[in-house]
Amino acid sequence: MSKINAAITGVQGYVPDYILTNKELETMVDTNDEWITTRTGIRERHILKGEEKGTSILGIEAVRGLLEKTNTDPAEIELVICATVTPDMLFPDTANIIANALDIKNAYCFDLGAACSGFLYALTTGAQFISSGMHKKVIVVGADKMSSIVDYTDRTTCILFGDGAGAVLLEPSDEFGHIDAVLKSDGSGEPYLHQKAGGSRHPATVETINAGDHFIYQNGRPVFKAAVSGMSDVVKQVMKRNNLQNDDIKWLVPHQANHRIIETVARMADFPMERVMVNIHKYGNTTAATIPLCLWDYETQLKKGDNLVLTAFGGGFTWGATYLKWAYDPS
């Protein structure tokens, strides 16, 4: 019996309307457009404004668009996985909130963490349910409202992040789809990238709030170094394991954290930048949403049978690379 692959049969992204430019950030912290652009490649990011609006709002819009463009009846969806580090609340899971808003009544739903690698972890998880023959239609959504955990007085982090969501539909295919993944994690990375409070170790108190412990903490240099070596290493591993030469890969799809990281990974893995997806300049780092937002932006350039390698690195540390064959031509 031939292996059942999980093919991406549709992709949709969503970013909120408000655009936070480098110029506006200059009025908030001691920074400038030139520093941000040369050190990170980011020019603007989208921010979800308004009271009581959580990550689910972003995920709902992405999944709504996905259902519409793939002509999918919500009742057919059997599983929804939402990768996020900024859930609406600790429970219920944001995947449940997204499904409920869209009348996805016959699915079970759960969230998955893994920070910036969340989408890759969720994609591989969702793909297993298709490959096992258990499900026929699975939605994987990466969504983060990073502005909810960013300290807009900290110039070292507030310039980096944006809000957004991207969703894919997974369906069985014997020819295309998710072929292989190398996923890694290393808990010793915790000191360099984390959110100190709000969990069970340090529940919210007046002290944790006053100390700013509910915001992202990042020591950028060690994260940069680990991201570069981690991603280039797993990209090479997944290619070697599948006997792929660089020319066999149409697109490298890296997590969008810093343009310099993307360029260095591409150079170390021997990919020309013309075959590397980049949209960090307009969205910044949207954590679990960067990779599906790339696929959405480049969808019209993707052709049936194209080989793609997706790679990410994030808090944890977590990282990985996924090899897939694109399943459809542009419409």
Report if residue 287 touches ligand ACO, rule: CB under 6 A.
yes
Binds ligand ACO by CB under 6 A, chosen from 156, 208, 237, 279: 156
Report if residue 224 touches ligand ACO, rule: CB under 6 A.
yes
CA distance 164 to 58: 6
Residues 6+ apart with CB under 8 A from 61: 14, 165
* Start-to-end Cα distance in the chain: 31
Binds ligand ACO by CB under 6 A, chosen from 159, 181, 288, 289: 159
Q: Name the residue among 202, 227, 174, 248 with its Cα closest to residue 3.
A: 174
Binds ligand ACO by CB under 6 A, chosen from 122, 170, 223, 235: 223
Report if residue 208 touches ligand ACO, rule: CB under 6 A.
no
Please name the amino acid found at residue 175: E
Binds ligand ACO by CB under 6 A, chosen from 12, 84, 147, 258: 258
Task: Say how many C-beta atoms besides its own lie within 10 A of residue 122's C-beta.
Answer: 28
Report if residue 40 touches ligand ACO, rule: CB under 6 A.
yes
Q: Which is nearer to ligand ACO, 5 or 287 (CB)?
A: 287
Binding letters toward ligand ACO, positions 49-88, x by CB under 6 A: ----------------------------------------
CA distance 229 to 313: 10
β-pairing, 216-218 vs 193-195, is antiparallel
Q: Would you name the residues annotated as active-site residues?
A: 116, 255, 285
CA distance 319 to 331: 32
The pair phi, psi for residue 49, each rounded to 5°, is: -100, 160
CA distance 67 to 248: 32
Report if residue 220 touches ligand ACO, rule: CB under 6 A.
yes
Binds ligand ACO by CB under 6 A, chosen from 314, 320, 326, 327: 314
Looking at 13-21, 32-40, 99-107, 273-281, which segment touches ligand ACO (CB under 6 A)? Answer: 32-40
DSSP 186-205: -GGGGGGEEE-SSSSSS---
Report if residue 43 touches ligand ACO, rule: CB under 6 A.
no
CA distance 258 to 274: 17
Report if residue 198 touches ligand ACO, rule: CB under 6 A.
no
Report if residue 152 touches ligand ACO, rule: CB under 6 A.
no
Give the binding site for ligand ACO (CB under 6 A): 31, 35-36, 39-40, 115-116, 155-156, 159, 193, 220-221, 223-224, 227, 257-258, 261, 285, 287, 314-315
